[in-house]
């Protein structure tokens, strides 16, 4: 097949369905091209070596990547987000309509919804089947995060999302809960498939030549690591309150937060105000550096604010934690908690519950090391069996094949209709 991947985020950004995914499809015999933006996520600043100068083509691991102009931004500013999403959606549809590459199927990664709309326009006008990979439900997420509050705007976005879903030949999504929510929108069950996420196995398996210096200070400590985005949805203020509670009763416990996000400054200010010398912040780093931090972890944390939408989400960091073979503290309801429980890989707690989170840390800290190690092994075994890169790509490839086949089905149906009309006219 000839596959056109349209995604606003791509390597060197921390894009989930990025270069490794495109390369894996190529290795399976498919011709793959990528349309994306100039890299600026998650900080909203262009990556070193990139300057927006119109359309830029580059070859990455023998994959043709076209970068299109956009307004770089990733902040709390609604105007900034609108300009970021809207600018890329506009350049994508203008370029996608005239690109010489003729795909058999278009793959688009959601969010944001704006690029899905562009992909729908390209799909319709170029008569190419579309696969929409849904990793965030709009407008549901916009309501939960408070990004959009006006009812009329949310209603408009909801209607646009329905049009995207109806246009798609196949929809893939990353959790059973998301699939159930999509089916509530009158979609055919056979159209919506669950493909659980994997992690960046290749880079998580690497190790930087020099570990972060902070790890030497943590020797002998019971270390709880959070790695990932730090924003309103994660509500990591709860974790800081747990750290404050444990500071005097369990001085051997340390928390390490790795990553970036719009709440980092607020969290650092709170940690300073509470004099939390048991809390350490590390900047966003390469995966091979994160691997060193996860190696040093005795437990890892995933937390999302208590919200109905997050109960049907599976944060992608869970896959990385399972792959790393570390006991997981899961402060998320629903699908995420169920997955970790099935894997027998950690402890689940009620989100936003400071006492429950602190108690979970105490439980793991008091647990024999071999028992924690068994939890970690359980998690890795579960990951290899159900969530690995190869397992996921196999399922995505099957979904792409199914989407591409709808064009042939439509042609056959049109041919049969025309033949029937011809036969009727000759009677």
Inform me whether the pLDDT recorded for 419 exceeds 60. Answer: no
Contact 30, 104 (CB under 8 A): no
Task: Identify whether residues 191 and 224 lie together within a single domain.
Answer: no
Distance CA(254)–CA(67), nearest Å, equals 42
Inform me whether the pLDDT recorded for 81 exceeds 90. Answer: no
Contact 118, 93 (CB under 8 A): yes
- What residue numbers bound the domain in which 396 lies? 2-198+388-417
Domain at 57, CATH number: 3.40.50.2000
Strand blocks (E) in 116-229: 130-134, 170-173, 192-194, 222-227
Inform me whether the pLDDT recorded for 146 exceeds 90. Answer: no
Task: Identify whether residues 220 and 184 lie together within a single domain.
Answer: no
184-204 confidence digits (pLDDT tens) = 988 999 999 999 999 989 889
Inform me whether the pLDDT recorded for 97 exceeds 70. Answer: yes
With respect to residue 356, please indicate whether it lies within any of the assigned structural domains: yes
Task: Identify whether residues 55 and 23 lie together within a single domain.
Answer: yes
With respect to residue 24, please indicate whether it lies within any of the assigned structural domains: yes
Task: Identify whether residues 222 and 83 lie together within a single domain.
Answer: no
Per-residue pLDDT, 410 = 53
Residues 6+ apart with CB under 8 A from 297: 223, 224, 225, 256, 324, 326
Task: Identify whether residues 339 and 405 lie together within a single domain.
Answer: no
**Taking the CB of residue 352, how many other CB atoms lie within 10 A of it?**
17
| DSSP, res 386 | I
Kindly indicate the confidence band of residue 389, based on its pLDDT and cuts at 50, 70 and 90: very high
Task: Identify whether residues 41 and 23 lie together within a single domain.
Answer: yes
With respect to residue 107, please indicate whether it lies within any of the assigned structural domains: yes
Task: Identify whether residues 267 and 405 lie together within a single domain.
Answer: no
Across 408-414, average pLDDT: 53
What is the pTM assigned to this prediction? 0.83
Per-residue pLDDT, 321 = 97
Distance CA(126)–CA(124), nearest Å, equals 6
Torsion (CA) 279, 73, 94, 171 in degrees, nearest 10? 30
Per-residue pLDDT, 409 = 62
With respect to residue 427, please indicate whether it lies within any of the assigned structural domains: no
Across 59-79, average pLDDT: 90
Residues 6+ apart with CB under 8 A from 150: none
Per-residue pLDDT, 18 = 93
Per-residue pLDDT, 418 = 47
With respect to residue 105, please indicate whether it lies within any of the assigned structural domains: yes
Three-point CA angle 324, 13, 318, nearest 5°: 25
Distance CA(334)–CA(92), nearest Å, equals 36
With respect to residue 110, please indicate whether it lies within any of the assigned structural domains: yes
Across 379-399, average pLDDT: 97
Phi, psi angles (nearest 5°) of residue 88: -70, -40
Distance CA(351)–CA(348), nearest Å, equals 9
Kindly indicate the confidence band of residue 411, based on its pLDDT and cuts at 50, 70 and 90: low
257-285 confidence digits (pLDDT tens) = 999 988 999 999 999 999 999 999 999 88
220-236 confidence digits (pLDDT tens) = 999 999 999 999 889 99
Least confident of 133-137, 190-194, 205-209: 205-209
Across 299-322, average pLDDT: 94
Task: Identify whether residues 251 and 344 lie together within a single domain.
Answer: yes
Three-point CA angle 58, 398, 385, nearest 5°: 100
With respect to residue 424, please indicate whether it lies within any of the assigned structural domains: no
Task: Identify whether residues 144 and 179 lie together within a single domain.
Answer: yes
Across 370-384, average pLDDT: 98
| DSSP, res 115 | H
Contact 59, 65 (CB under 8 A): yes
Task: Identify whether residues 169 and 244 lie together within a single domain.
Answer: no
Distance CA(186)–CA(347), nearest Å, equals 36
Per-residue pLDDT, 8 = 94
Contact 304, 331 (CB under 8 A): yes
Task: Identify whether residues 89 and 124 lie together within a single domain.
Answer: yes
Per-residue pLDDT, 86 = 93
Name the residue among 338, 331, 374, 337 with its Cα closest to residue 224: 331
Per-residue pLDDT, 237 = 97
Inform me whether the pLDDT recorded for 324 exceeds 50. Answer: yes
Kindly indicate the confidence band of residue 422, based on its pLDDT and cuts at 50, 70 and 90: low
Task: Identify whether residues 54 and 140 lie together within a single domain.
Answer: yes
Across 297-303, average pLDDT: 97
With respect to residue 425, please indicate whether it lies within any of the assigned structural domains: no
Inform me whether the pLDDT recorded for 412 exceeds 80. Answer: no
Q: How many domains in the chain?
A: 2
Name the residue among 404, 384, 389, 402 with its Cα closest to residue 22: 389
């Amino acid at each position: 097949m000839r596959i056109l991947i349209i995604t606003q985020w791509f390597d060197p950004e921390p894009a989930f369905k990025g270069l490794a995914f495109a390369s894996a499809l190529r290795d399976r015999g498919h011709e793959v091209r990528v349309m994306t933006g100039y890299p600026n996520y998650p900080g909203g600043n262009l990556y070193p070596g990139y300057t927006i100068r119109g359309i830029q083509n580059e070859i990455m691991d023998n994959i043709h990547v076209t970068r299109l102009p956009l307004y770089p931004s990733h902040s709390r500013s609604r105007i900034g987000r609108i300009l970021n999403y809207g600018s890329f959606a506009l350049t994508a549809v203008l370029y996608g309509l005239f690109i010489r590459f003729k795909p058999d199927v278009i793959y688009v990664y959601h969010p944001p919804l704006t690029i899905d709309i562009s992909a729908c326009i390209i799909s319709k006008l170029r008569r190419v089947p579309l696969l929409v990979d849904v990793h965030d439900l709009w407008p549901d997420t916009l309501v939960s995060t408070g990004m959009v509050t006006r009812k009329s705007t949310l209603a408009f976005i909801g209607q646009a999302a329905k049009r995207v879903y109806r246009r798609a030949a196949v929809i893939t999504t990353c959790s059973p809960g998301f699939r159930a929510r999509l089916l509530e929108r009158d979609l055919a069950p056979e159209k919506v498939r669950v493909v659980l996420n994997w992690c960046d196995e290749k880079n998580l398996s690497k190790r930087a030549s020099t570990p972060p210096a902070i790890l030497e200070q943590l020797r002998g400590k019971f270390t709880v690591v959070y790695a990932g985005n730090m924003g309103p949805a994660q509500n990591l203020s709860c974790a800081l309150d747990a750290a404050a509670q444990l500071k005097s009763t369990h001085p051997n416990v340390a928390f390490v937060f790795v990553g970036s996000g719009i709440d980092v400054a607020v969290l650092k200010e709170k940690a300073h105000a509470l004099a939390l010398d048991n809390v350490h912040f590390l900047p966003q780093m390469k995966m091979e550096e994160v691997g060193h931090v996860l190696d040093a972890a005795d437990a890892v944390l995933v937390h999302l604010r208590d919200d109905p939408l997050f109960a049907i989400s599976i944060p992608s960091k869970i896959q990385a934690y399972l792959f790393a073979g570390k006991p997981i503290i899961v402060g998320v309801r629903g699908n995420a908690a169920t997955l970790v429980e099935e894997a027998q890989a950690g402890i689940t707690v009620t989100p936003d519950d400071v006492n429950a989170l602190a108690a979970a840390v105490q439980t793991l800290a008091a647990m024999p090391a071999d028992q924690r190690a068994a939890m970690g092994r359980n998690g890795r075994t579960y990951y290899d069996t159900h969530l690995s890169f190869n397992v996921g790509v196999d399922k995505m490839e099957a979904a792409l094949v199914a989407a591409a086949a709808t064009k042939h089905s439509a042609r056959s149906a049109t041919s049969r209709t025309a033949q029937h009309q011809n036969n009727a006219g000759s009677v």
